[in-house]
Amino acid sequence: MSAFLDEIKLPDQALWDYWASGWTPVQTTESRAQSGRRVVQRGVKIGGRPVVIDRCWADYATVQALEAALTRESMVLAWHNGQTYPCEWDHGNRPFVAEPIIDYTVPESGDWYALTLRLIFL
């Protein structure tokens, strides 16, 4: 089964680096009361998990489609296993990187690029 970001087909070898971000579903804040006692507050996050999709090559046409999608406020990631995830670009962390496999003077639709996508689950 293929993976899609909205209508854009992602390369079949795309990997979701699930644990790379070190994200945890629990947010902890520590402070001190006036008495000096330690105060710990914990809460479960509703969303905001960062996701890195990388280690894949895509042709120039896919690169152009992903670049055009950078202005979208939200999208749906449909992964290889059939699950879908609402997400948005991680604009604070270089959301889209496409590095040419070979340096091209003038890119054409069949040229290959190494992709990295950074998303945040909503």
User: Which domains are assigned to the chain?
Assistant: 4-121 (2.40.30)
Please tell me the predicted confidence (pLDDT) of residue 96.
94
Q: Are 84 and 40 in contact (CB under 8 A)?
A: no
Angle at 16 (CA atoms; ends 15, 18), nearest 5 degrees? 140
Partnered with residue 78 across adjacent β-strands are 4, 84
- Which residues, 6 or more positions from 82, have their beta carbon under 8 angstroms from its beta carbon? 1
Judged against a pLDDT cut of 90, whether residue 59 lies above it is answered with yes
Read off the pTM: 0.81
Model confidence pLDDT, tens digit, residues 60-85: 999 999 999 999 999 999 998 999 99
Give residue 35's pLDDT band: very low, low, confident or very high (50, 70, 90): very high
